[in-house]
Chain A
Amino acid sequence: MTGTTLTVNEAALASSRRAARFRKNILPWLFMAPLIFFNVVVILGPSFGSAYYAFTEWSGLGPAKWVGLANFQRMVTDRVYLIALGNNLKWTAIFLTVPISLALFGSALLAPIKRFQMVYRVGYFVPYIIASVVNSQIWRNLLNPTRGLGVWLASIGLKFFNVAYFGNVHTVLYSIAFVDNWHWWGFLVVLYLAAMQAIDRELYEVGILEGATRWQEWRFITFPGIRATFVFTALMTVIWSFLVFDYVYILTQGGPAHASEVLATEVYNAAFFRFDVGYAAAVGLSMSFFAAIVVTGYLILKGRGWEI
């Protein structure tokens, strides 16, 4: 009789212990499982796939043929690849300077005002929420060589502006960057503004008492206060500048004569128009390589105690 009770107790204890272990170790992973599953299927698995295909010659059909480093050798001597890489570097330089300084300027002007601050904030943000297809269409019309802004400016004497912005190999990249920047800088304003509003107001009181000028206020109170946000946006700018696709593809598809080609459009063309899938994977891999360099550089500097 006692023996049976003991067994029952032991069984109950064992099962409750098992339940506790389940709650502690298994259940959290069950809740995490869907996220990991979709992430592995869509992102991680195919990323490894790219890392493999980059060393093969493959048309997308049939078996892939191992070719070693041939794709990479071809890449570094390919004219289009080098143009695209150069354009991505120019793009990085443009986006590290133009939208960031415009947004720093705009947010510094916006932070001290109270009336209509919300209206300005929302107004600057609107282009950011509008689809790239629509924004591109707006500017393709506005910069149209036969009836756009350039024609109007020429008619009032500013002939210099009458250019085929998207059709000229010298202006095309900058024109696309202009459109992308137009939709992007307002977002940065809102980011910087939010960071500025978290700065302790008392610092400004002290600044006023000490007779600080506007510039000194910004240089010694505002900018240090938003430094973390600033560094983050700069870092993201560099990473994204190597990924830019939408505006280039929609406005020019990399043309004319590859003048606005970027790495992302080159991957796209290689994979889906030339069926050169192995090469496309190699170019894609090189894109993540550049992003990895930036992130690693950042982490190393941070690890060395740089205050960024």
Chain B
Amino acid sequence: MAAFSAKHSRRTRSLAFNYVILTALICFSLLPLLSMVFNSLKSDAEANSNPLGLPLKGIRLQNFVDAWNAGHLGTNMLNSAFLAFGTIAGVIVIAGMAAYSLSKLNLPGANYITLYLLVGTSMPAQLFMVPLFFLWAKLGLSDKLIGVIIIFWALQSPFATFLLRSYMLSIPKDFEDAAKVDGASELQVLRHVIVPLSLPGFLTVGLVVGLGAWNEFLFAVTFLHHANVMPISTSLYAFVSRYDRQWGLTSAAAMIMILPVLILFLSLQRQFIEGLTQGGLKA
């Protein structure tokens, strides 16, 4: 009995230690973000004299209005939304069909396709980006949002296919058979049986793919140069170097970019984390 309680108290004490360290670590993760939130609410003069602390001289929301207007962020946000939704729509169709083929249609040579997709996803962008740039220029796809959307389709579909395939494999075959007895074609089975039953998978794919398109930098900076097609990521990059000294303004612009992501993440964090950790491993 005594031995048990001694062991018990060791556990409780060590958990207190866990909480202390874990809290220190969460401060390391979140305080830098908080400093940006604070700076976005300060006047430039205050951000200059008090760059790290709380906004003490009142909360200045004007920064958000100024950043929105000076950076034409409305256009950029729309472009990013277009990139995100265009990517989501295409990937869902492309990967949904491929996953159906792999999981339910007994694709001949499925192993080779899987291997190819695995190798393809670990191919460095720098290997194919340069010829792709000149190919896109030739095809008239440079400086067009659809050009980058097509690239995202190719980059994101393999991961989405693997994720959706695992959802579809868990659907019992009886469900399809029942529909086929009623005379449904393959497309109808896909639309009315498989897709509704793997909807959580599609939601996860949509979130991960949309987040990737919203945050993406390398292809955006390479393929989209005109101000009217720039997404928020590269326009923020340009904005920050132009208004380098004005931390209130640039922090507000950055906040505008991440607010939709943060709100979505906090309300659907389970799906986000599941999707990003399941094979969606991208740096």
Contact = CB atoms under 8 A, between A and B. Distances in A.
B61 interface: no
Contacts of A284: 124, 126-127, 129-130
A138 B30 CA distance: 11
Interface in B225-283: 233-234, 236-237, 240, 247, 250-251, 254, 257-258, 261-262, 265-266, 269, 272-273, 276-277, 281, 283
Contacts of A132: 215, 217, 233
A138 B131 contact: no
Contact of B277 (A39, A106, A190): A190
The interface size bin for chain B is: 35 or more
**Counting chain B CB atoms within 10 Å of each CB, which of A46, A245, A268 scores highest?**
A46
B26 interface: yes
Nearest to A29: B107
B123 A47 contact: yes
A113 B18 contact: yes
B130 A50 contact: yes
Interface in A88-136: 106, 109-110, 112-113, 119-134
Interface in A119-166: 119-134, 137-142, 144, 147-149, 152
The interface size bin for chain A is: 35 or more
Interface stretch (B64-72, B153-161, B169-177, B195-203): B153-161
B188 interface: no
B140 to A, nearest CB: 14
A223 interface: no
A243 interface: yes
Contacts, number: 262
A47 B132 CA distance: 9
B178 interface: no
A137 B107 contact: no
Given A31-B97, A134-B236, A142-B35, A239 B29 contact: no
Interface in A7-51: 23-25, 27-29, 31-32, 34-36, 38-39, 41-47, 49-50
Interface string A225-261: 0000000000010011011111001100000000000
Nearest to B135: A46
B218 A245 contact: yes
A43 B36 contact: no
A224 interface: no
A201 interface: no
A126 B18 contact: no
A35 B30 contact: no
A281 interface: yes
Tell me whether chain A's interface is mostly helix, strand or loop, or mixed. helix
B98 A126 contact: no
B214 A288 contact: no
Contacts of A42: 128, 132, 150-151, 153-155
A240 B283 CA distance: 7
Closest 5 CB pairs of A and B: A49-B131, A42-B154, A31-B101, A46-B128, A28-B107
Interface of B: 7, 14-15, 18-19, 21-22, 25-26, 28-30, 32-33, 35-36, 39, 48, 51-52, 93-95, 97-98, 100-102, 105-108, 113, 116-117, 120, 122-135, 150-151, 153-155, 157-158, 161, 186, 211, 214-215, 217-218, 221-222, 233-234, 236-237, 240, 247, 250-251, 254, 257-258, 261-262, 265-266, 269, 272-273, 276-277, 281, 283
20 contacts: A27-B105, A31-B186, A32-B101, A32-B113, A35-B97, A38-B150, A42-B128, A43-B128, A49-B132, A126-B30, A137-B236, A138-B36, A140-B240, A142-B32, A208-B7, A243-B126, A244-B283, A250-B237, A281-B130, A288-B127
Interface of A: 23-25, 27-29, 31-32, 34-36, 38-39, 41-47, 49-50, 53, 60, 106, 109-110, 112-113, 119-134, 137-142, 144, 147-149, 152, 182, 184, 186-187, 190-191, 194, 208, 214, 236, 239-240, 242-246, 249-250, 263-264, 267-268, 271-272, 277, 280-281, 283-285, 287-288, 291, 295
